[in-house]
Structure 1
Amino acid sequence: MSLLVALVAVGVVVLVLLISSIRTVDQAHVAVVTLFGKYRRVLNPGLNLIIPIFERINSRVPVQNQTSRLQFSAITGDQAAVHFTSTIIFTVSDHSPETVQLVAFKFINENSFHMAMTSAVEASVREFVSTKKQAEVLGLRSEIVSHAKSTLDEQLASWGYTLVDLTVNDITFDAEVMASMSRVVAAKNAQSAAEFEGQALLITRTKEAEANGAAIRIAAQNEAEAARLRGEGLAQFRMELAKGLSESAQTLTDHGVDPGLLAFTMWTETIRESAKEGDGNVIFLDGSVEGMQSSLRHLQGLTQVGKE
């Protein structure tokens, strides 16, 4: 009976020890095992065995990406306070026992690690912002991130981590500074608007002046061309008229008729047409024989000029 009890007791102890030696590690984690408080080894995800009583899991280290949100302030070169909100994505550099041991024992707890990381980012940003003026900071977001990354990469590597990404989500100033910056921007916008309106008005008036000048120039050219064509037409008419009169006078001479008859006929036709087409106008003509003879002499002189 006593032997049976002893076997049962031994079985219970073995079972307890076996159960206490079984440990499971979640996916995307590794477990750090210590022996009497000293680093012993690393357990990978899944089912693992440890030495009961002597070994224990000191901590579990996540090996997937982790995110931390940071808030801090910096002072610009012209003594303006700038408030930053940033997000850091980081992960354990690798799963080697050396790296996991470094991550597990570098800081006393997770809060200490986050405090050190925040201080590193803040120091890097402060160093950069201190050389800039407040009006420049808002436009240098990418430069601030690049400078902070260059510093944080090296710092995290010494702690066993790798920086995946760093973003600056928000950059703000104190309310008084933001109000003054808004007034400056509004004044600059008003100035730019006035300049653009002035330039637009200048362009409009210049184009109107050019259009008016072009219209005047075209009208003058058209008038000059019309006058030239009228002159050419009148000269052509007179040339043809003189040619016709000369030919008619020559025909009369060839047939033994005094060319003065042509002038007399033209004179009488002119009087007839004036009387026929007149609209109440009065034309005074010298109807005496002397007047007619004088007019014929002038007409004969014209025909002589046409012959020459």
Structure 2
Amino acid sequence: MGFFCLFCGCVDQAGVGIVEKFGRFYKLANPGFHFFNPFAGECLAGVLSTRINSLDVKIETKTKDNVFVQLLCSIQYRVIKQRADDAFYELQNPKEQIQAYVFDVVRAQVPRMTLDDLFEQKGEVAKAVLEELEKVMGEYGFNIEHILMVDIIPDPSVRKAMNEINAAQRLQLASAYKGEADKILQVKRAEAEAESKYLGGVGVARQRQAITDGLRENILNFSGKVEGTSAKEVMDLIMVTQYFDTIKDLGNSSKNTTVFLPHGPGHIRDISDQIRNGMMEASASQVNSE
């Protein structure tokens, strides 16, 4: 903060000197070099820094909902240059005095709040501490610059319970979203399946209609070109031809091993009758539905 001897002294830029005369306060020494007359009883009693100082205070108290918490409060203060004599003579330990007032204000404010309110309104607590300290410490030559509530630390068991509650709420929300997503997926799957079945039915109906139209056209063409043939005979011929084509496809397929089918003129006629009757019934049902 500077140097001084019996006859002279130097005060740094960020400081203020306290000059005494015969043991009593005489004047303030501004930054710079000063001469003192020891024969007149003058001397430099001390130098105070006018820089901003920081004091961290940890306070343990209880909230309105009976939760013990620790508050870490940071107080930034400085000496008022014009009242440096009060700061030098009035308080022996200003840090302890500031800490005592912080304890008093915080323990008067926090028990009125729940834990959630304390987290939300910690600025209000800092404001109350600032107002009280400015009023009290200003009389002793100190100016309170800022009050910061750095941290609020609940009891470890309370923090664990809060984390579990938060995790449970998030899991519940995730389960609700997952259930809604599964519901939408099942509805869409059912709609897709219904649409698929509908389109499949339309395709089968159109296929059968096309087969019926093709057979009708073949029968008419064959009956017109070959004299003496009836529609029944042409139908039997087409059915038998399709029967042999089906046997051929079964034999050429690599996925089939052995297929037992009745074979003979009588069986072929029975099969042709069954196929014809089936086609006629399908055609009749299609006409009735239209």
Q: Which letter maps to 2:59?
A: F
Residues 222, 56 of structure 1: alpha-carbon distance in 2 compared, 3 angstrom cutoff: same
Indicate if the aligned counterparts of 2:6 and 2:43 stay in contact, CA closer than 8 A. Answer: no
**Which TM-score applies when normalising by structure 1?**
0.62
- Specify the alignment match of 2:8 in structure 1: 22
Superposition pairs of residues 85-234 of structure 1, within 5 angstroms: 85-93=72-80, 95=81, 98-105=82-89, 107-109=90-92, 111=93, 113-134=94-115, 136-137=117-118, 140-172=121-153, 178-179=156-157, 181-182=158-159, 184-185=161-162, 187-189=164-166, 191-192=168-169, 194-196=171-173, 198-199=175-176, 201-203=178-180, 205-234=182-211
Deviation at 1:211, TM superposition (A): 3.9
- Distance in 2, matches of 1:218 and 1:38, equals 103
Deviation at 1:238, TM superposition (A): 5.8
Deviation at 1:210, TM superposition (A): 2.1
- Specify the alignment match of 1:63 in structure 2: 50
Indicate if the aligned counterparts of 2:219 and 2:234 stay in contact, CA closer than 8 A. Answer: no
Residues 30, 69 of structure 1: alpha-carbon distance in 2 compared, 3 angstrom cutoff: same
Indicate if the aligned counterparts of 1:74 and 1:122 stay in contact, CA closer than 8 A. Answer: no
- Specify the alignment match of 2:274 in structure 1: none
SS of equivalent residue, structure 1 residue 229: helix
Deviation at 1:134, TM superposition (A): 4.1
- Distance in 2, matches of 1:276 and 1:80, equals 89
Indicate if the aligned counterparts of 1:66 and 1:89 stay in contact, CA closer than 8 A. Answer: yes
Deviation at 1:79, TM superposition (A): 4.5
Number of aligned pairs? 247
Deviation at 1:186, TM superposition (A): 5.3
Deviation at 1:63, TM superposition (A): 1.0
- Distance in 2, matches of 1:265 and 1:70, equals 110
- Distance in 2, matches of 1:272 and 1:84, equals 97
After superposition, the C-alpha distances for 1:2-21 in whole angstroms (9 at most, x for unaligned) are xxxxxxxxxxxxxxxxx733
Indicate if the aligned counterparts of 1:83 and 1:171 stay in contact, CA closer than 8 A. Answer: yes
Structure 2: state its 5+ residue gaps.
248-262, 270-290
Deviation at 1:100, TM superposition (A): 2.5
SS of equivalent residue, structure 2 residue 64: coil
- Specify the alignment match of 2:264 in structure 1: 281
- Distance in 2, matches of 1:145 and 1:275, equals 100
- Specify the alignment match of 2:19 in structure 1: 33
- Distance in 2, matches of 1:190 and 1:39, equals 64
- Specify the alignment match of 2:62 in structure 1: 75
Q: Which letter maps to 1:230?
A: Q
- Specify the alignment match of 1:267 in structure 2: 233
SS of equivalent residue, structure 1 residue 128: helix
- Distance in 2, matches of 1:167 and 1:183, equals 26
Indicate if the aligned counterparts of 2:15 and 2:49 stay in contact, CA closer than 8 A. Answer: yes
Deviation at 1:23, TM superposition (A): 1.9
Residues 101, 183 of structure 1: alpha-carbon distance in 2 compared, 3 angstrom cutoff: closer
Structure 1: state its 5+ residue gaps.
1-18, 250-258, 287-308
Structure 1 or 2, whichever has the larger Rg, is 1
Deviation at 1:138, TM superposition (A): 5.0
Deviation at 1:26, TM superposition (A): 3.5
- Distance in 2, matches of 1:164 and 1:148, equals 12
Deviation at 1:66, TM superposition (A): 1.5
- Distance in 2, matches of 1:282 and 1:100, equals 131
- Distance in 2, matches of 1:143 and 1:272, equals 97
**Which TM-score applies when normalising by structure 2?**
0.66
Indicate if the aligned counterparts of 2:62 and 2:110 stay in contact, CA closer than 8 A. Answer: yes
Deviation at 1:80, TM superposition (A): 4.5
- Distance in 2, matches of 1:29 and 1:57, equals 13
Q: Percent identity?
A: 13
- Specify the alignment match of 1:49 in structure 2: 35
